[in-house]
Structure 1
Amino acid sequence: MELPLILSGPILRRVEPSLVSVWVALSKACSVQLSLFEGLAKVGDTPKFSRDTDKSDTIAIGDKLHITVVMMKLTGIDVLKPGQLYSYNLSLTEKTGGAKHDLKSLGLLQDNVLSTTPLEKRRLALGYALNQLPSFALSPDKLIDLKIIHGSCRIQVSGLTDALPWVDDLIKEKVQDPNQRIHQLLLAGDQIYADDVERRVLPQMIALGQEVLAKREFLPTNEPNGLAAKFSPADEKNFPAGMRKNLVLSETRMTTVDNHSHLLSFGEFAAMYLFAWNNEVWQPAAIKDFDDTIAEFRANYNTKVPDSVLPIFRRRDDKNQPKIADALLRRFTDCAFKTLTAEELKSAIKKKDDFDPVVRDPIDTETLQFGKLPAQGSPARTAFSKIYTFADGLTAEELGAFKNFMQQLSGDLGGLYKLAIDRGRDNCLEALKNQHKIRRAMANVPTYMMWDDHEVTDDWNLNPMWRDRVMTNPLGRACVRNGMLAFALFQGWGNDPEKYLQGKPKRLLELASTLYTATATAATQQTANDEIEQLFGLNRRTVDVTKFDDQLSWHFSVPGTRHLVLALDNRTQRNWITRGGPPTNIILGAIEKQIPAGPLPSGKEVLIVVAPLPVLGPPMFDELIAPLAYRAFDVIEAIKNGNENLRGMPGTNPDAIEAWAFDPKATESLLKRLEPYRKVVLLSGDVHYGSAQVMSYWKRTDPDTDPSRFVQFISSGFKKVLPEYLRDIDLRLSRAQQLIRAHINAERLAWNAKADVLNDKATQAVPALRARLEEEPMLLPAYGWPEGIAVKQTTPPDWSWRIKVLLDERPEFNGQPYEPDKERPEAAKPPSAGIDIVSTPSPNPSFRADFADAYRRLISRHHRSFDIMRNGRQLCIGSNLGLIHFKILKDAQNQDVLHAIQELHTVFPYELPNASEDHQPFTTHKARLTGDPSEKRPALRGQP
């Protein structure tokens, strides 16, 4: 495949009045110049700024991977202004040969069909019109005009519909209006899923990574004794797609359950980003099934046994030693991949396909035991004669190991073969359908990105047990380092590009440019990687907040015209209460480093915090669903046999235990740091549902002032839904949904130090509540106390708060022309046909047929509503994105009050009849940003 000059981009990154920056990844070394225009400009228009100082040379990461963030700095009267449109162009001059290009000459300013088979692969005009340049606008003068989209969690290939392309539609609708178009795109993590990669596409990613790095990358695996590392080329022969489960569990020691095609090499991580943001690097006609992958592996095996074949199948015990000696394991792999034909191996391990009656049952591995081998001439012996003949020559101990090996093959590979009805290939093609819209959207809105765990792996930095296991194994450490380096180059750099001009960020770019040069060897790469690991803090085994300044920081801030954005790093500045328990998502000392002291700077009206992990979950979800999920994992995982990987650790699934609610002290420290800002909007993802909560926060020192307000908006995910186990728990606990709608809220009263603050009724409290009276800080729930309990007047709480779940309170029908703020959209309305008949029944027998038909339609209405809404609109479980804006609304006292609003746009798996071309929010949440005069401070009591 001939690579395009622009591998990915342009992506508009940090934009301020004095700075415009654009990220781009190229296949050739170039000098990149940024030109800026006023208004919606077209090719041939005169730029307002086009200066030699606005150039940047790409950094050579590999022979065909050259990356830069080109910046334009403005001062004085030249600074950009709110309420105006600006456009930009890129001029690329190749370092070798001097050929010149721009967005027009590269064909990026016109719609084009690049290929038609096996599907139409398109390119869209980046400026939304022929020869029109991509454009943007600063955040507006008035907060009520500000439009921000946020979201997270995008598995690129899955059976789900993708919400991220909708960003392009929302920009297009208002592209000519600087005050109404989208002003910022805030991505809150899991922009890629390094652990959940489609095995049909991974071979292309491996090949692309090899091509752009000129096949100069090496990966380490453990020698059999686990004391040394052996380096092998990072190619598909040594690390085949679909066959990585053991590599991930036993060599990296990671814990993800999506492990058969986990990214490992830097080249693969880089290719993943290119695939996520540019459809032009895909080869849809070359998508492989696992049958193709394993056939290639067999061919490689039978011609020259790869050095890394044993790590692919080697399993280690809890002492990091191989469970099967290498010499014996080689005999087993020879049997599977030399003695057996491809069809014989497939027949032995492939799971029964209900849609293909020709496929027989796989071998019964329970017969691979001493004394249980099938007799000569039996059907089983005839069906799998080569396997049983091999087994005849094994000792009883070796036969037991062979049984485990065959079970391993069946469990790891048997379910990956192509099925009679196989939607995997269709999912790959579906992922490509709207990829071109994502590319255009990110070229036309300032885009900011923070990571969560899946940029590296599921469970990343979950707890000390995970960290110690992974970081003491060479492949595990390499995988974490490669994921972090890829994030730095493809995401982090553009968040604050000026920071990369000096100090540790600059040194990281210098080191990255030395890794894959023409003279690179495994040894030279390891020397550079050792220094990179120090910059990432991977060389430490203990947490020391005083050492965080020695490593790179990833949090950042962006000032807007009337708002301030802070993005928190929940991953690399963690602490843990116990070795296997929930994490403190930001160690207490680091909270002060990531969040400047409040209040808001002059002229700013609201603080927007990008917190990848939700700080304020729905109270019923945090109090009921998440703890139950945690306990469910305690039960399920604790009974597993063996300790070869961390999936045996009870209660360590991060989807269940990484909520801030599991560390109340850290949560209170975070809220205390944010409280002086007074009006705080938290934007989060991670949890794979959309919702909204609001907190009123009172301080003892401000008895006569309104409470500070924290509004938590969650939008997750772009292309990811709740795990099946959580959806099942949520469905079974339907009472929790009712409690949410019943306005049962979470409340807390808190004292900095332990003290005698309650009346004598406290002695009658249940033990769990009495225990809280002995802790510091003293954090007391409002509910569950004996009747008559009260706080002494002389010791009021140092602070207290109340969380309420926000509901979409728009009626189904407004009776007026549709207005998003006043009526649910068509997608959220159940069909009304037949409801009038059921609601006004008649005893007349002639109406019975009408009744029967009406009830059928009523049942259909409920079925469709459940299908659309999943569990209801208070928790939006489905692909979604959040549009944030602000509005002045009248309150109950007829006072003008500033409100923060989240519109959740949900993508449905089918087209709605007569759907409007304009996007209508499926769910709308509104929260006032000042205290409600009618709301009283929490008080202790018995019942909610």
Structure 2
Amino acid sequence: MHHTLPDLPVLPRILAGPILRRVTVDSANVWLASSSELQLELRIFDANGTLISQPPEPKAQRRRNRTDPTSWQLGAQLWFTLVEALPLADAGTFPQDTLLSYALFDTETEQPLDLDDVCLEGASRPGFYIPSQLGVIAYGSCRKAHGLTFNDDGSIQRKDSLALLTEQLEETQHDLSQRPSMLFLIGDQIYADDVLPELMTYLQALSLQLMGKSIPLPDGSDACLISTQERTALKAGCGLTSSSQHAHVLSFGEYAALYLVTFGNRVGFQFPPEGREDLAAARHMRTYSPEKLKDFERLSLQTFVSSQPQVRKAFANIVTYMNFDDHDITDDWNLNRSWYDKLSASANGTRVISNGLAAYWAFQGWGNNPDNYPARFIQVIKDHLDDPEDRHKCAEFDFRLWKFRRWSFVLPTNPPIFVMDSRTQRNFGSNNQPPQLMDRYALDEMRGEWLNIENQQQTPIFMTGTPVFGFSSIEWLQDVLYRIGVLMGGFTGLFSASSIDVESWVANRRGFAFFLDTLLLRMGLKKVTFLSGDVHYSFANRAYYSNRSNLMKPQSDTNDWQYSPTLQCLQLTSSAMRNTPESGRWLETFLANWTTKVRLGPCSPETLPWWERVFFWRFFRYNTWAVEVNGIPGKTVQQHSIKPWWKILLFWRVIKIENWRPRLRTELNWITSRPNVALVYLQNGEVVRQVLLSGDERENNLTYEIPPDTIP
């Protein structure tokens, strides 16, 4: 059953961008999506307005494994351009710790593109800087267009969190000691599996306009013309397990259309209010009954769209890196072997994932590290989209996208930053067993990148989709429910891995220990910092990991089976930018009182000394590694008065008396669900502070002061 699609206006020339992407002292890159081919030259200027860059020569690009074309046409009106600038030959590198700016010149008209709408206040061009040592960086995840945006007290944040980052850039644009130099989006930049019906209809029409044709799925289904009911049935038939009641994008064109709306909405999507309540009039979560949740989602989407001009400014004025998580493709993506086997056995399911990965490359991955993507890889995507009826091209498209293993990347900053792919390089156990998030080959690749770093005395930063050290009490509860589900799920489906999203690092304890052993024993690290998202609540903690089964080095003062080496870890988590959990906030508040936890775990027998691998010791598989996790409380702008002594009791920390009536407290600062984008402050390579930007006027910020590190 086909339905009528809306008529759309003529597309603007620039569909998305400019977005400032990978920038080092050796190279600067700017990304755009357009409705026609762009022949651009990127020009970098110093603080005096002097040109300090030159375009790369094609031969030099080939030597560096760069693709010769800087623009790729993937639809009738859909072009992607990544334009690079190199330092002048006599300078050798771009200057550091000074404000730079850039312009994009059209080489056909010899005129600069009009970028006035993305310039910060008072600036004539968008700007950035390259830090010699990291000072302030920003990061966040989970940005759903119609997501709930409740602060801890139930009040509503109307602005997109990235708009708050723009305001921060405006205030600090000339103070480089306080201005964020980089933005990391570490997952769920779009929610491909959760699109409101009104937006879905628009995406179908925009997809046809972009691609110039409808590209059917392998079974012949035309994603751009099917109804919502048909889409839901098709999703279930593929094996996609998203529990969202809303639509799932399926075709490459639909993924691309969703990115265009989410990455600044230059295409001009508008959501008519149709007489709905004004979001500004709603001040508290309980204003909305469950029946009005859909109304709130519609209103939330309207406020999201109204923030996009500010978001475009943020993308243009800060170096941006992006990593995927499940919702960028589909919920439960590579959750376990059962999910993987079912999807890979479905022609439609395989194609949906391939379409999502191709769109991720075009909108996110390409700009992270262009050298990771050879021309042949991109050509496979283009060949399929140009000729989707060719079976050989379809087969190669699916195979190359599913098996590609170069999504992760490393930045040569000081300290270095590792952005890790923990989605496509997993090691699956039995059908529903939680996976090892990075297999041995991925960890070996990470070790190789570390060997390439000259100064190994720094504390590296690792960007991970989900926290390596999650909030202990919540992960403990999830583990208990999963184990109950293992016993009962075969009959009832209760607490299945999919329903409770079991994919934390520690859910697979062998993989958890293998990952940390790689850092501690194989890479020789003593301190690391993890920045994560995904879990829809924010927190900070310290963790100390030790493993007494260390066989990697000869016996020494730090390796004598009595005093095991310890890995000191700082875990910072910022989530979500725009997706407050509908439920669980009260439970999270209660569990926030449990901020310290010691975990123990076994190692595989082959990692133990020989005398512990023989006879009955082998059957005990007793604990050989230990982790102690300690929560770090945050501080709000408005300090609370000193609590009476009786409030230190657990019960009274959670219950608050107002007007002689009890109320559950949500202002506990160990954990928060407030929408935010985080700023991380470093001094001499060490993190000293995290600030969660939150609230329409940033009045709801939460600050975590990181205490000096001491081994317990």
Q: Normalization by structure 2: what TM-score?
A: 0.82
Distance 1:7 1:720 in 2: 25
- Secondary structure in structure 2 of the residue aligned to 1:614: coil
2:448 alignment partner, one of 571, 591, 596: 596
Query: 5+ residue gaps in structure 2?
Result: 1-8, 59-67, 150-156, 276-287, 560-564, 648-655
- State the 1:531 CA deviation: 1.0
* Residues 198-225 of structure 1: per-residue CA shift (max 9 Å, x gap): 111111111111101002422233xxxx
State the partner residue of 1:263: 249
Q: Structure 1 residues 477 and 149, CA, compared in 2 at 3 Å: closer, same or farther? A: same
State the partner residue of 2:350: 477
- State the 1:133 CA deviation: 0.8
State the partner residue of 1:150: 139
State the partner residue of 1:922: 702
- Secondary structure in structure 1 of the residue aligned to 2:497: coil
State the partner residue of 1:779: 623
* Residues 149-199 of structure 1: per-residue CA shift (max 9 Å, x gap): 111111111332432322212222211123321111111111111101111
Q: Structure 1 residues 662 and 52, CA, compared in 2 at 3 Å: closer, same or farther? A: closer
Distance 1:636 1:683 in 2: 35
- Secondary structure in structure 2 of the residue aligned to 1:34: strand
State the partner residue of 2:650: none
Distance 1:632 1:167 in 2: 42
Range that drifts further, 875-884 or 661-670: 875-884
Distance 2:686 2:410 in 1: 23
2:362 alignment partner, one of 489, 493, 505: 489
* Residues 262-285 of structure 1: per-residue CA shift (max 9 Å, x gap): 010000000111010122313315
2:592 alignment partner, one of 734, 737, 741: 737
- State the 1:713 CA deviation: 1.1
- State the 1:864 CA deviation: 8.7
Contact map agreement 2:20 2:316 (CA 8 A) in 1: yes
Distance 1:167 1:864 in 2: 33
Q: Look up the equivalent residue of 2:215 and give its one-letter code.
A: E
State the partner residue of 1:139: 131
Q: Structure 1 residues 633 and 198, CA, compared in 2 at 3 Å: closer, same or farther? A: farther
Contact map agreement 1:35 1:47 (CA 8 A) in 2: yes
Distance 1:862 1:86 in 2: 57
2:534 alignment partner, one of 671, 674, 686: 686
Q: Structure 1 residues 463 and 128, CA, compared in 2 at 3 Å: closer, same or farther? A: same
State the partner residue of 2:482: 630
Does 1:63 pair with 2:71? no
Distance 1:878 1:863 in 2: 22
- State the 1:451 CA deviation: 0.8
State the partner residue of 1:753: 608
Does 1:78 pair with 2:92? yes
* Residues 215-249 of structure 1: per-residue CA shift (max 9 Å, x gap): 2422233xxxxxxxxx244323xx22465221111
* Residues 743-777 of structure 1: per-residue CA shift (max 9 Å, x gap): 4433568683166679xxxx9xxxxxx998633xx
2:422 alignment partner, one of 570, 577, 600: 570
* Residues 556-611 of structure 1: per-residue CA shift (max 9 Å, x gap): 10111x21011111111112121122111112232112343757632762201111
Distance 1:565 1:201 in 2: 36
- Secondary structure in structure 2 of the residue aligned to 1:129: coil
Q: Structure 1 residues 16 and 421, CA, compared in 2 at 3 Å: closer, same or farther? A: closer
Distance 1:133 1:861 in 2: 57
- Secondary structure in structure 1 of the residue aligned to 2:677: strand
Alignment of 1:349-498 (within 5 A): 422-498=295-371
State the partner residue of 2:510: 665
State the partner residue of 1:391: none
1:885 alignment partner, one of 674, 681, 691: 681
Contact map agreement 2:682 2:688 (CA 8 A) in 1: yes
Alignment of 1:109-128 (within 5 A): 109=116, 125-128=117-120
Identity %: 24
Alignment of 1:256-405 (within 5 A): 256-258=242-244, 260-284=246-270
Distance 1:246 1:626 in 2: 30
- State the 1:467 CA deviation: 1.6
Q: Structure 1 residues 496 and 876, CA, compared in 2 at 3 Å: closer, same or farther? A: same
Contact map agreement 1:696 1:803 (CA 8 A) in 2: yes
- State the 1:499 CA deviation: 2.9
- State the 1:680 CA deviation: 0.9
State the partner residue of 2:651: none
- State the 1:689 CA deviation: 1.0
Distance 1:527 1:37 in 2: 47
Distance 2:341 2:166 in 1: 43
Distance 1:771 1:654 in 2: 37
Contact map agreement 1:555 1:569 (CA 8 A) in 2: yes
Contact map agreement 2:206 2:257 (CA 8 A) in 1: yes
Q: Look up the equivalent residue of 1:685 and give its one-letter code.
A: G
Q: Look up the equivalent residue of 2:341 and give its one-letter code.
A: D
- Secondary structure in structure 2 of the residue aligned to 1:235: coil
Q: Look up the equivalent residue of 1:510 and give its one-letter code.
A: Q
Contact map agreement 2:148 2:582 (CA 8 A) in 1: no
Does 1:825 pair with 2:637? yes
Q: Structure 1 residues 597 and 176, CA, compared in 2 at 3 Å: closer, same or farther? A: closer
Q: Look up the equivalent residue of 2:37 and give its one-letter code.
A: A
Does 1:235 pair with 2:224? yes
Distance 1:862 1:443 in 2: 49
Contact map agreement 2:144 2:578 (CA 8 A) in 1: yes
Does 1:580 pair with 2:590? no
Q: Structure 1 residues 421 and 257, CA, compared in 2 at 3 Å: closer, same or farther? A: closer
Distance 1:276 1:177 in 2: 29
Distance 2:358 2:292 in 1: 37
Q: Look up the equivalent residue of 2:204 and give its one-letter code.
A: I
- Secondary structure in structure 2 of the residue aligned to 1:677: coil
Alignment of 1:869-908 (within 5 A): 869=667, 872-887=668-683, 899-905=686-692, 907-908=694-695
State the partner residue of 1:293: none
2:194 alignment partner, one of 193, 196, 203: 196
Does 1:102 pair with 2:112? yes
- State the 1:79 CA deviation: 0.5
State the partner residue of 2:412: 559
State the partner residue of 1:88: 102
Q: Structure 1 residues 7 and 585, CA, compared in 2 at 3 Å: closer, same or farther? A: same
Does 1:721 pair with 2:565? no
Contact map agreement 1:242 1:261 (CA 8 A) in 2: no
Distance 1:669 1:32 in 2: 46
Distance 1:565 1:460 in 2: 25
- State the 1:629 CA deviation: 3.8
Distance 2:292 2:581 in 1: 26
Q: Structure 1 residues 634 and 30, CA, compared in 2 at 3 Å: closer, same or farther? A: same
Q: Structure 1 residues 651 and 82, CA, compared in 2 at 3 Å: closer, same or farther? A: same
State the partner residue of 1:939: none
Contact map agreement 2:354 2:402 (CA 8 A) in 1: no
Matched positions, count: 648
Q: Look up the equivalent residue of 2:345 and give its one-letter code.
A: T
State the partner residue of 1:28: 36
Contact map agreement 2:405 2:424 (CA 8 A) in 1: no
- State the 1:47 CA deviation: 2.4
Q: Normalization by structure 1: what TM-score?
A: 0.63
- Radius of gyration: which is bigger? 1
- State the 1:76 CA deviation: 6.0
Q: Which has the higher contact order (CA 8 A, sep 6+)?
A: 2
State the partner residue of 2:458: 605
Q: Structure 1 residues 861 and 626, CA, compared in 2 at 3 Å: closer, same or farther? A: farther
Range that drifts further, 197-206 or 276-285: 276-285
Contact map agreement 2:148 2:578 (CA 8 A) in 1: no
State the partner residue of 1:297: none
Question: How large is the RMSD of aligned CA atoms in angstroms?
Answer: 3.6
Distance 1:574 1:901 in 2: 32
State the partner residue of 1:246: 233
